[in-house]
Amino acid sequence: MRDPIRPASPGPGDADAIVVGSGPNGLAAAVTLAAAGLRVQVIEGAAVPGGGCRTEELTLPGFRHDVCSAAHPLALASPFFRRFGPAARGVAFAHPEVVYAHPLDGGRAAIVTRSVAETAARLGGDADAYRRLMQPLADGGNAVADAVLSSMRRPPRYSGALAAYARLGLRSAAAVARRFHTEEARGLFAGVAAHAMLPLTEPPTAGVALLLGSLAHTAGWPVVTGGSARLTDAMIRAIVAGGGQVETGQWVSSLAALPPAPATLLDVAPRAFFAMAGERLPARYRDALARFRYGPGICKVDFALADPVPWRNEAARQAGTLHLGGGFEEIAAAGAAVARGEHPDSPYVLVVQAGVADPSRAPRGRHALWAYCHVPSGSTVDMTARIEAQIERFAPGFTDLVLARRTRTAAQEEEMNPNYAGGDIACGMQTVRQVLARPAVRWNPYRTPLRGVYLCSSATPPGPGVHGRCGELAALTALRDVFGVREPPDLAIAARLPRGGLAGPVGGDVQPVPAGTAVAVAPGPVSGLVEIDLAAGR
Ligand SMILES: Cc1cc2nc3c(=O)[nH]c(=O)nc-3n(C[C@H](O)[C@H](O)[C@H](O)COP(=O)(O)OP(=O)(O)OC[C@H]3O[C@@H](n4cnc5c(N)ncnc54)[C@H](O)[C@@H]3O)c2cc1C
């Protein structure tokens, strides 16, 4: 193994590992390989790196929109990012006062805060049912996230929280929501379950609701201060510090076009891998890739607003994320319509108002708003009017505040990033089968039948979201198979405070440290991040 920190970048043909695609999983793979001392070359097709983790001025100057991911419960809970230590690399997560809100007609809303008790107390007759459902999961800290954000190959370590999760997680949201009776609690559960992009009568929609719902009370659902791209930048800095490089603007259509390297990791959709490898793949594996099912698409609208959204419900104004679409039945009907290939008149709309926690996203007094709804796969229908009508329903006067808007249909979503087949931002349906065996049934899902070639996109376990685990777990497999490295590398090694500041353990004493200080990132009780006050170093 070479010296872990080398200034020289790999030239053509002398990389130890090639990573195709610079989404969070491609970069997590590259970070892991670079931390093990390998020379890594990342090849990205788009002009800008980051895949689903980018921030751009999509509407007007000074409005910084998260192009894809905006809310980061999975990043904060992810074992990969806990080891990587974003805080030690200058990335700050900003938590909104209200984690997520579910507005209902008449100015009512269900409101979720970090506290289970506080959230339950607002749910009236369903207070006890909410507490009984969420408290055991929240009490488990990282246990549920650690189990779900795994390769799904080994039974996780037993804990009470995990047992509670396993009991209900493989069921449908419709089944689990029967324990609630108020429109608020039922709507709240539907709103968070619908992230699964499946009809709410399908398993494991309850599992998605329980994971994301409990993360509200453990890690939180923060945004990244300055935009999601800061997380991408931190990973790229770590790769470059390890002697690797990230090249953009080079779409890869065939494995034969890649520079030779002992290991190749592909942050691409299964059908792209199919096209790249062609006849080199055995027929059985090719058939499995061809059978892999993609889910519905999304239509996204980014808004530049003159003022904050005037949600009729006061508490909803403080929410980072909002789920719109009314009560359980209405949201279920919207999901069922999308599954039938229809565009609902009253769609389920996900909204992120990053500005409530991070005012840097827009010029003073202005706001950048992020919204999308689910649509049938490959849809070219512009849902802007229906998304605006849904926001207007719960925030009268909203449309008058719009200074500019930018829409991406599902078809355009795929044009921007081929991993989002038909606009499916999950890179593959999250049915029970495809959660457990992604993209094909194999003992190690990252290994492909081609020697030295690995899949590392969110089409592998643990699936979609910005958590980097698909990339990390694929890289650990490649390290073992190709380079004989059995010990996971220390990802914290290259964590340095860029400007100095205050550093210390979570909940412990902090002390001033100068710029360039290397920081050890020890796993903490929940987020596992070292707390750093960079403001002190400016
Ligand atoms: C609109 C939207 C909103 C989202 N919101 C959230 C959210 O709030 N929170 C969250 O956790 N997740 C969210 N997600 C999901 C999250 O962004 C993805 O699950 C995550 O980015 C997947 O990471 P990845 O590395 O597997 O793939 P991607 O991030 O999709 O990256 C793949 C990269 O590979 C490149 N690539 C693909 N094929 C080739 C090729 N042949 N040659 C060269 N390069 C190639 C692509 O250009 C891309 O840069 C959202 C996604 C979208 C689109």
Instruction: Indicate whether residue 418 lines ligand 1 (CB < 6 A).
Output: yes
Distance in Å, CA 25 to ligand 1 centroid: 8
Distance in Å, CA 419 to ligand 1 centroid: 7
In a 13 Å sphere around the CA of 135, the CA atoms on its Cβ side amount to 11
Instruction: Indicate whether residue 208 lines ligand 1 (CB < 6 A).
Output: no
Altogether, the residues listed in the chain come to a count of 538
Q: Given ligand 1 and candidates 67, 417, 435, 467, which is best to mutate, with the most ligand atoms within 8 Å of its CB?
A: 417
Look at residues 69, 157, 97, 62 and name the one whose alpha carbon lies nearest to residue 366: 62
- Structure-block tokens of residue 448: 């492909």
Distance in Å, CA 329 to ligand 1 centroid: 31
Start-end of H helices in 91-225: 116-121, 127-139, 143-148, 160-169, 173-176, 183-193, 205-215
Dihedral sign (CA 215, 220, 225, 227): positive
Pairwise CA distance, residues 479 & 486, whole Å: 7
Instruction: Indicate whether residue 69 lines ligand 1 (CB < 6 A).
Output: yes
Look at residues 50, 69, 417, 85 and name the one whose alpha carbon lies nearest to residue 224: 69
Residue nearest atom 41 of ligand 1, based on CA coordinates: 252
Pairwise CA distance, residues 338 & 375, whole Å: 6
Residue type, 477: T
Distance in Å, CA 24 to ligand 1 centroid: 7
Those residues with Cβ within 8 angstroms of residue 5's Cβ, 6 or more apart along the chain or in another chain: 241, 242, 243, 494
Instruction: Indicate whether residue 462 lines ligand 1 (CB < 6 A).
Output: no
Which pTM value belongs to this model? Answer: 0.92
Per the listing, tokens 């905006």 go with 70
| Ligand 1 atom, smallest distance to 457 CA | 26
Instruction: Give the strand order in the sheet containing 531-533.
Output: 511-513, 501-504, 531-533
End-to-end CA distance of the chain: 38
Long-range contacts formed by 275-282: CB under 8 A, 24+ apart:
276/252, 277/448, 277/450, 277/453, 278/254, 280/255, 280/450, 281/448, 281/449, 281/450, 282/449
pLDDT truncated to tens, each residue of the chain (538 aa)? 433 333 345 666 689 999 999 999 999 999 999 999 999 999 999 999 999 999 999 999 999 999 999 999 999 999 999 999 999 999 999 999 999 999 999 999 999 999 999 999 999 999 999 999 999 999 999 999 999 999 888 888 889 999 999 999 999 999 999 999 999 999 999 999 999 999 999 999 999 999 999 999 999 999 999 999 999 999 999 999 989 999 999 999 999 999 999 999 999 999 999 999 989 999 999 999 999 999 999 999 999 999 999 999 999 999 999 999 999 999 999 999 999 999 999 999 999 999 999 999 999 999 999 999 999 999 999 999 999 999 999 999 999 999 999 999 999 999 999 999 999 999 999 999 999 899 999 999 999 999 999 999 999 999 999 999 999 999 999 999 999 999 999 998 555 444 444 455 444 555 665 655 555 443 333 233 333 333 333 2
Pairwise CA distance, residues 538 & 527, whole Å: 25
Residue nearest atom 11 of ligand 1, based on CA coordinates: 465
Dihedral sign (CA 164, 166, 171, 172): positive
Instruction: Indicate whether residue 272 lines ligand 1 (CB < 6 A).
Output: yes
Task: Report residue 520 CA to chain centroid gap.
Answer: 25
Instruction: Tell me phi and psi for residue 359, to 5 degrees.
Output: -65, -10
Look at residues 385, 377, 387, 384 and name the one whose alpha carbon lies nearest to residue 323: 387
